[in-house]
Amino acid sequence: MWIANQTRPDILFDACSLSAVFKKAKVSDLLETNKVVRRVQSENVTLKFPQLGHRSALKLLIYSDASLGHLPDGGSQGGYFIFLIGEEGQVAPLAWQSKRIRRVARSTLAAETLAMADAIDTGVFVAALLTELLYGVLNTLLLPFVCVTDNHSLFDNIYSTNLVHEKRLRIEIGGIKELLQTKKISAVKWYRAKSQVADCLTKKGASRLALLELLEGGILKLQD
């Protein structure tokens, strides 16, 4: 888990999933743990922190994703990855997380919404911290950020005036809409699943290629 949180975000879901069965682990869980350890030892992963250019062009890019019922006990997992983008598309990784979604999600839309809400909370904190460091300004956000999802239903509901059926979910989506209206979030964008770098943070066996290419290349490529 320490390695996953420090330098290997690609194994974070595996670490979280294994930690959930720590008190009732079976031989199969030990074998899975050994498999993850061998992968860490045999693969080299590079985190690149390029020059980003002038501070006036900086912004945050936040990828959020969720999986419904993919945990061993049927729970749902949410994850996010936060990058700092420079003036020519250079990106530096700032923060990532993968954890069990804080309440029972009844649908994929609910899981994706809760994952994005958690990602935005961290994004607001990071943006405020960087604003203070770069500009010496407190209690404000001078660093714009963009949220990315691969869930079209969530994207449509954020930009729609129609209300979702689940009342508790309306509050979360309403909060995201309010941040858009007040310009604290520049935009919410929909990317295809192959461009969703947070996918491997939420489900077993998901491709890590998009994330590793972005981490090692340090350049954001627009989706097709």
Helix/strand number for the chain, H first, E second: 7, 5
- Residue 84 amino acid letter: L
Distance between the two ends of the chain, CA-based, in angstroms?
34
Confidence band of 224 (pLDDT split at 50, 70, 90):
very low
Please report, for residues 33, 37, 113, 146, 201, the alpha-carbon distance to residue 42 in angstroms, rounded to integers and kept in the order given: 14, 9, 36, 35, 20
Q: Please calculate the CA angle 117-123-126 and round it to the nearest 5 degrees.
A: 150
- Residue 81 amino acid letter: F
Beta bridge partners, 190, equal 149
pLDDT at 207 exceeding the cut of 50: yes
Determine the Cα–Cα distance for residues 114 and 202; give it in Å rounded to an integer: 13
Per the structure, the count of domains in the chain is 1
* CATH number where 122 lies: 3.30.420.10
Taking every pair of Cα atoms in the chain, the longest distance, rounded to a whole number of angstroms, is 54
Structure tokens that stand for 220 in this block? 């954001």
Residue with more model confidence, 92 or 166: 92
What is the model's pLDDT at position 18?
Answer: 87
Asked if residue 102 is part of any domain, the answer here is: yes
Domain hosting residue 123, numbered range: 2-217
Residue-wise pLDDT for 140-164, tens only, equals: 778 888 999 999 999 999 998 888 8
List the one residue out of 73, 70, 122, 60 whose CA is nearest residue 97: 122
Express the helix, strand and coil content of the chain in percent, nearest 5 each.
45, 15, 35
Asked if residue 35 is part of any domain, the answer here is: yes
Residue-wise pLDDT for 119-140, tens only, equals: 999 999 999 999 999 888 887 7
CA atoms within 13 A on the CB side of 135: 16
Average pLDDT over residues 172-181: 92
Percent of the chain residues topping a pLDDT of 90: 60
**Total residues belonging to the chain:** 224
Element (H, E) at 189: strand 187-190
Determine the Cα–Cα distance for residues 190 and 187; give it in Å rounded to an integer: 10
Beta bridge partners, 65, equal 79
Confidence band of 87 (pLDDT split at 50, 70, 90):
confident
CA atoms within 13 A on the CB side of 49: 4
Structure tokens that stand for 122 in this block? 């961290």
Element (H, E) at 103: none
Asked if residue 204 is part of any domain, the answer here is: yes
Q: Work out the mean pLDDT of the chain and round it to a whole number.
A: 90
Residue 159 φ/ψ, nearest 5 degrees: -100, 15
Asked if residue 209 is part of any domain, the answer here is: yes
Asked if residue 222 is part of any domain, the answer here is: no
Q: Are strands 145-149 and 59-67 parallel, antiparallel or unpaired?
A: parallel
Confidence band of 74 (pLDDT split at 50, 70, 90):
confident
